[in-house]
Amino acid sequence: MRTGRAGSTVSRREFLAAGGALVVAFSLVAPSRLLAQRAAAGPKLPGSLEATPMLDSWIRVGADGSITVMTGKAELGQGVKTALMQIAAEQLSVQPTQIILITADTRGTPDEGYTAGSNSMKDSGTAIMNAAAQVRELLIARAAERLNIAPERLRAENGALIADDGRRAAYGELVPDKLTQVRAQPESKLKDPSTYTVVGTSMQRVDIPAKVTGGAAYVQDLRLPGMVHARVVRPPGYGARLREVRGAPDIEKMPGVHKIVRDGSFLAVVAEREFQAIVAMRALAVAASWSDRSSLPDQADLFAYLQRLPVDAIVDLDVHTPANPGARSFEASFTRPYQMHGAIGPACAVAQFKDGALTVWTHSQGVFPLRKSIAEMLRMPDERVNCIHVEGSGCYGHNAADDAAADAALIARAFPDRPVRVQWMREQEHMWEPYGPAMLTSVKASLDGSGNIVAWEYDVMSNSHSTRPGGAGNLLPAWHLEAPFTQPVPKPIPLPEGGGDRNAIPLYKFPNARVVHRFVASMPIRVSALRALGAYMNVFSIESFMDELAQAAAADPVEFRLRHLDDSRAREVISLAATRFGWSTYTRSPGRGRGFAFARYKNLGAYVAVALDLDVDRESGLARILRAVAAVDSGQAVNPDGIRNQIEGGIIQSASWTLHEQVTFDTAAITSADWSRYPVLRFPEIPESIDVHVIDRPGQPFLGTGEAAQGPTAAAIANAVANASSARIRDLPLDRKRLKAAIHV
Amino acid sequence: MIDLDINGRTQRVDADPNTPLLYVLRDHLAMNGAKFGCGLGQCGACTVMIDGEAVFSCVTPISVLNGRRIKTVEGLGTTSKLSVLQRAFIDEQAAQCGYCIAGMIMRAEALLEKNPAPSDAEIRRHMMPNLCRCGTHMRILRAVRRAAQVMRAASAQASPEKV
Amino acid sequence: MNKRSSLLGLAMAAAVAAILSDARWGSPADAAIREPMFDRQTVEKGAQLAAIGNCAACHTQPGGKPYAGGRPVKTPFGTIYSTNITPEVETGIGAWSQGDFVRAMHDGTDRAGRNLYPAFPYDHFTRVTDDDVNAIYAFVMTRDPVHAVAPPNRLMFPMSLRPLLSAWKMLFFDRGVYRPDTAQSAQWNRGAYLVDGLGHCGACHTPRNALGAEKKSQDLGGGEAEDWHATALDASSPAPSPWTAEQMFKYLRQGWDNSHGTAAGPMRPVSHDLSEVNEEDVRAIAAYLMWTMKQRPPRPAARAEPPVGAAQPGDGAVIFEGACASCHGVTLASTPSTHTVPLGLTTSLNAPDSRNAIHIVLEGIWPDSGERGALMPGFEGALSADQLATLLAYLRAHFTSQPPWPDIAPHLRETMQRKDSQ
């Protein structure tokens, strides 16, 4: 790999080639495609086609028969690239290997906002499915013209149109350039799902081979010619301002150091080699002195503190119908601490500021909103900033990726021409990323004489679950500039998606139900979207309480849930999970119990039911899942193994959150500075088995999968602990201290 | 200048002797396998093998590597010629984001080279220092077990039991 | 004749006398009376006391069922295996009455009246009041019963002869419940009671004579536990920065203190258990230990950490920069909460021998599942024996004002061999 010297000229081709497999070159883009595409009046186009209706924004066919598919979504490790390739390949009747998939890139993919909310398949998958089908029809029409036969006599197969008289026209032969420069139609001629040969198969992920052989796969692997390394020195805590840096010239004389960048309290160092940057960062950290930090709340008093903050009470649901009067009433309250994304690969970005234009390679979930935010921060026009998604490690929501991109942008502007690589340190990620917010819920319900729920009141109090940029005000480095940007007052995410109130409305049918969301705008600790958002806590609360009610009604927990559900797909996942688990034949033994839970993510997304068998050791307080069985309905299953992988992963991640995870802090700073202070599930605690059963719904809309398991798993664990030990614990995490205190003696 | 034996080849590197191996691999030698996860020896994303032992390359300065044999995931195999373990990880689709996987493979390799028939408990204990945040553990364990099986079958074929 | 054989001779003579006179400690077992159900309060009290006594640590095999015994305890005379103290009738103490249990704790005899080996530190537990022993009994009898037989002890002759222990007891066992010192405060007495009694701190922290008995004249003067040095908690404490009661409380309760280090090795389960003990008792222990250390003379200060990036000659410095500095280098201003203790203040680097530092550097420190605590990788495998020795010598020389350890290489060899043979 060449390391260019500052001031060397590198040809554009070399530049792009050096990105290797990570960065796909964009040919010069026709200006028309960059203009906002106004949606036509009339019926809505499927998925993201509505916002980006030109077919060539999504699919282009090359003269060599290769097919370029563009998506505004990003690969986060959830397998979306492979799934989208399968969808396109199916509708276009090509081998998936014929597809070149380009992901989120402000230079030319559609703008699909954030890869979040488990919406990728619904938004992008649907758009690509329809676009591909429509492109296929365009190809058929073109071939019919060329071969001078009726289109009905042609079928698409393996990258070619084949006539019933045997004549053949490969896609590439059909002069496909500009073929797709047409607007999408609201209706598409979709293939009959029963004829699918690619969708519905567990095609192996296209990104895995590079990942097991040391191929370039992540933004952390990006090496551009002339690239230099930077590290940021962050303040010792929220609110601290940089007072002075003693001996900066000496640090600039350290081996390999090019420059110290300082803008207000934003402090960074640029060096030739990565370890040189790290050593210089350490020296710079010692040399810097800071004003006092803001005070954080007392962790022991956290929930009382949160309850004293002003709230915006929003009534999400208020249903009254006459019913049998409640014979008995029950209530419970639950708490959840701050929990972190804790991505295993701390945030990283590469930026280059050259000729008045900035390019940022980033693992942000939303390159289009990020570009706007960075442009605002640098006071540049949007068009002069480009953000290109390159895969990072799993992010599980809004973590530090956007902040690292902003760091790189700031440093690149101060050190122009050469690409600048910024890598966050582990401690910086742990202490500065936006966490999943602490939440409180309380629920009250009444059972009638037959043990049915006749009244239900649910209350959830939470900070915002989204402070995504969205604006420079949500970029951490922008807060530290000499002319700082301030974080805007957050607004709640409206239903049906919801934020803190995601899944606060149960899917169960109750004659009387009231759900209130108490939105707390003031954020003493930095928060944003963590996988599943409020659904994790709301499903934990609701499904724990359902078990408590089932017990009061002397009913089986599974049967009790079915009693209150009329959604047939919900009933089916519940029954499947229970059956495969062996729910009706399970026998308890001392210290061992079973737990069950169900939810439909957002009441719009995937249906997941989880049953698990768990062991609690009373001397250590350690709970361990022995066996978990899940059933999932994600609609049309594009890649069943991909779905299983996401659900398995979601179960284990949720088990880690539920059993161990909480961000700790004292009044001075966050104290969960690294893995020693933020323990997570490790191999010895992993379950003995996890079985995921996928219910395929051919032809049904895609429902997404990525966040559906977290809530049900949490409740299933709490329910199993209660079954194993008679200890009902309502405060997350169900850690060893809590379990031991509840059951030891 | 320091000579390092990496995957059987000598690489001459111009880096300070106190530089952890991880940065030499990634920054000087443009190798992607070993990853930065924490730099503190807590997560294992940087795991390589040194003289057959699984080691955190983020806290191993190159000054101590004179005459030691370093093996990285690149040295196990390539996409056209995968090692047994790499093949097993692909067959089990043992990855979600995949960032931890190269480290997992090296830690597992160190185990299997010493003990081709580990029990499930032994595998779990051995893999404990390596973190996975996506929850791919079940597949990782399956891949290790699968590779162990393949290795045992191969060696049984190569040297059948004498009567 | 060396000291050991002369003591041995004395003991044998006493043993013969004891056997001939049929003098026996304790009386035969009470009939197998099953005690009635215990009230929750007593069991909870017993749980606290068992945590102070750290019973689980010895009476549980690594990875084994709690209190089911079978853990090897190495002594200079061979290996003893801890007994199953779950309430299982056949292989545990399920048939033991409260009186049997009290006799074991106070007199060092089992249910059949046979002497127990003082690896079970009844020379300390004899101090525990009847009430407290009864509470511990209630706790132990309400644990999960486990059917488990400990392996037979492997002691060298003649230590394998239990009757000989009568002689040992005559010479070294000072039987009797703790007697408060009225000249001292209530907290001091509580602390003394816990330290000398249930806590049995001296069992590790006091040097022993050739017959394995604690040297009472050097109480808490430093001792051994499982190949680790147990630091002196008397006037000879080598800590460069004197302990305060608050620091000791933190160390015992949370497992580390910023001025002294992390509880590692055999001390880890102790602080783990103490983290669940009521604050008052742990503070009492800390207060008492301040008293035992009160005569400690001032010690030379620890060395300041070497400045970042300053060119330091020598291999040890280079190894430190690359292997250790990311955690143990000068703490980053941006990460004030990383809690790594300044190395120069640590007990292990200031200890009279290198064993503790060797263990920590070779094995690292790994918290239990889900526990917040020090997490340090082990460097065995990454560093060769020579490199480890160089590093350890560097740490001692550069961070402490103590004289160099003369014994690094042999201790290193021994520790590495021990691990290989496991």
The distance of C258 to chain A (nearest Cα, Å) reads 14
In the prediction, which pLDDT does A26 show?
53
pLDDT classification of A37: cutoffs 50, 70, 90: low
- The CATH number given to C316-421 is 1.10.760
Cβ distance C381 to B128 less than 8 Å, yes or no, reads no
Q: What is the DSSP string of A511-559?
A: SEEEEEEEE----SS-B--BTTTHHHHHHHHHHHHHHHHHHHTT--HHH
Asked if A286 is an interface residue toward chain C (Cβ–Cβ < 8 A), one would say: yes
Cβ distance C324 to B128 less than 8 Å, yes or no, reads no
pLDDT classification of C258: cutoffs 50, 70, 90: confident
- Average pLDDT of span C110-130: 95
Query: With contacts defined as CB-CB under 8 Å, which chain A residues touch C370?
Result: 622, 659-660, 679, 685, 735-736
Facing residue for C329 by CB, picked from A282, A620, A736 = A282
Contact A240, A265 (CB under 8 A): yes
Q: Where are the alpha helices (DSSP H) in chain B?
A: 21-23, 84-91, 101-114, 120-127, 137-158
Nearest CA to A515 among A548, A549, A541?
A: A541
Tens-level pLDDT at each residue, chain B (163 residues): 899 999 999 999 999 999 999 999 999 999 999 999 999 999 999 999 999 999 999 999 999 999 999 999 999 999 999 999 999 999 999 999 999 999 999 999 999 999 999 999 999 999 999 999 999 999 999 999 999 999 999 888 887 665 4
Tell me the pLDDT tens digit for each residue of C26-62. 333 443 444 457 899 999 999 999 999 999 999 999 8
Facing residue for B59 by CB, picked from C323, C366, C375 = C323
Contact A740, A621 (CB under 8 A): yes
Q: Does domain B84-157 have CATH number 1.10.150.120?
A: yes
Query: With contacts defined as CB-CB under 8 Å, which chain B residues touch A343?
Result: 133
The kind and range of the H/E element at C186 are helix C186-196
Cβ distance A218 to B131 less than 8 Å, yes or no, reads no
Tell me the pLDDT tens digit for each residue of A290-314. 998 899 999 999 999 999 999 999 9
- Average pLDDT of span C315-326: 91
pLDDT over threshold 70, residue A390:
yes
The distance of B91 to chain C (nearest Cα, Å) reads 30
φ, ψ for residue A641 (rounded to 5)? -70, -35
Q: Are strands A242-245 and A288-290 parallel, antiparallel or unpaired?
A: antiparallel
Query: With contacts defined as CB-CB under 8 Å, which chain A residues touch B27?
Result: 229, 273-275
- Average pLDDT of span C233-246: 94
Asked if A671 is an interface residue toward chain C (Cβ–Cβ < 8 A), one would say: yes
- Write down the domain spans for chain B: 2-75, 84-157
The distance of B40 to chain C (nearest Cα, Å) reads 6
Cβ distance B53 to C382 less than 8 Å, yes or no, reads yes
- Write down the domain spans for chain C: 15-172, 186-292, 316-421
Facing residue for A673 by CB, picked from C325, C338, C371 = C338
The kind and range of the H/E element at A123 are none
pLDDT classification of A41: cutoffs 50, 70, 90: low
Q: How far apart are CA C186 and CA C194, in angstroms?
A: 12
Q: Are strands B2-6 and B69-71 parallel, antiparallel or unpaired?
A: parallel
Percent of chain A with pLDDT over 90: 89
- Enter the ipTM: 0.96
Cβ distance C369 to A664 less than 8 Å, yes or no, reads no
Those chains having 3 or more beta-carbon pairs within 8 angstroms of chain B are A, C
Tell me the pLDDT tens digit for each residue of A575-621. 999 999 999 999 999 899 999 999 999 999 999 999 999 999 989 99
In the prediction, which pLDDT does C5 show?
61
Residue of chain B minimizing CA distance to C323: B59
Taking the mean position of all CA atoms in its chain, how far away is CA B95?
A: 15
The distance of C223 to chain A (nearest Cα, Å) reads 29
Q: How far apart are CA C6 and CA C47, in angstroms?
A: 43
The distance of C326 to chain A (nearest Cα, Å) reads 9
Q: How far apart are CA A624 and CA A614, in angstroms?
A: 6
Cβ distance C381 to B19 less than 8 Å, yes or no, reads no
Asked if C323 is an interface residue toward chain B (Cβ–Cβ < 8 A), one would say: yes
Cβ distance B60 to C327 less than 8 Å, yes or no, reads no
Instruction: Enumerate domains of chain A plus CATH numbers.
Output: 2-209 (3.30.365.10), 219-292+341-432 (3.30.365.10), 439-465+500-743 (3.30.365.10)
- Could you tell me which residues of chain C have a Cβ less than 8 Å from any Cβ in chain A? 40, 43-44, 47, 56, 66-67, 139, 142-144, 276, 308-309, 325, 329-330, 332-339, 367-375
Facing residue for C334 by CB, picked from A428, A619, A740 = A428
Q: How many CB pairs under 8 A join A and C?
A: 105
Q: What sign does the CA torsion over A485, A519, A123, A629 have?
A: positive
Facing residue for C323 by CB, picked from B51, B61, B128 = B61
Q: Which is more confident, C162 or B115?
A: B115
CATH assignment of B2-75, among 3.10.20.30, 3.40.190.10, 1.20.1090.10, 2.30.30.60: 3.10.20.30
Q: How far apart are CA A60 and CA A69, in angstroms?
A: 7
Joined tokens for residue A256: 């390999």
Percent of chain C with pLDDT over 90: 71
Q: Where are the alpha helices (DSSP H) in A214-292?
A: 248-252, 274-287
- Which of A316-325, B76-85, C276-285 has the weakest average pLDDT? A316-325
Residue of chain B minimizing CA distance to C368: B128
Omega within 30 of 0 (cis) for the link into A733: yes
E strand spans, B18-110? 47-50, 53-56, 69-71
Nearest CA to B151 among B122, B113, B95?
A: B113
Facing residue for C369 by CB, picked from A431, A671, A685 = A685
Contact C236, C220 (CB under 8 A): no
Query: With contacts defined as CB-CB under 8 Å, which chain C residues touch A622?
Result: 369-370
- Average pLDDT of span A190-204: 96
Joined tokens for residue C65: 């069922």
Facing residue for B60 by CB, picked from C327, C364, C382 = C382
Q: What is the DSSP string of A464-518?
A: -S----SSGGG-HHHHTSSSPPPPPPP-PPPTTT-STTTTTS-SS--SEEEEEEE
The distance of B145 to chain A (nearest Cα, Å) reads 13
In the prediction, which pLDDT does C159 show?
79
Query: With contacts defined as CB-CB under 8 Å, which chain B residues touch A675?
Result: 38, 40, 42-43, 131
The distance of A277 to chain C (nearest Cα, Å) reads 12
Residue of chain A minimizing CA distance to B105: A212
pLDDT classification of A8: cutoffs 50, 70, 90: very low
Cβ distance A345 to B40 less than 8 Å, yes or no, reads no
Asked if A254 is an interface residue toward chain C (Cβ–Cβ < 8 A), one would say: yes
Strand ordering across the sheet containing A168-170: A154-157, A160-163, A168-170
Query: With contacts defined as CB-CB under 8 Å, which chain C residues touch A736?
Result: 369-371
Cβ distance B64 to C384 less than 8 Å, yes or no, reads yes
Q: How far apart are CA B127 and CA A676, in angstroms?
A: 17
Contacts of residue A235, defined as CB under 8 A and 6 or more positions apart, other chains included, come to A241, A242, A265, A290, A293, A480, C334
Facing residue for C373 by CB, picked from A237, A676, A684 = A676
Residue of chain A minimizing CA distance to B20: A275
pLDDT over threshold 90, residue A198:
yes
Joined tokens for residue A137: 């029809």
Q: How far apart are CA C117 and CA A643, in angstroms?
A: 59
Query: With contacts defined as CB-CB under 8 Å, which chain C residues touch B68?
Result: 384
- Mean pLDDT across chain C: 87
Q: How far apart are CA C141 and CA C129, in angstroms?
A: 18
Interface subset of A 173-212, CB within 8 angstroms of B: 202, 204-205, 207-212
Q: How far apart are CA A268 and CA B33, in angstroms?
A: 27
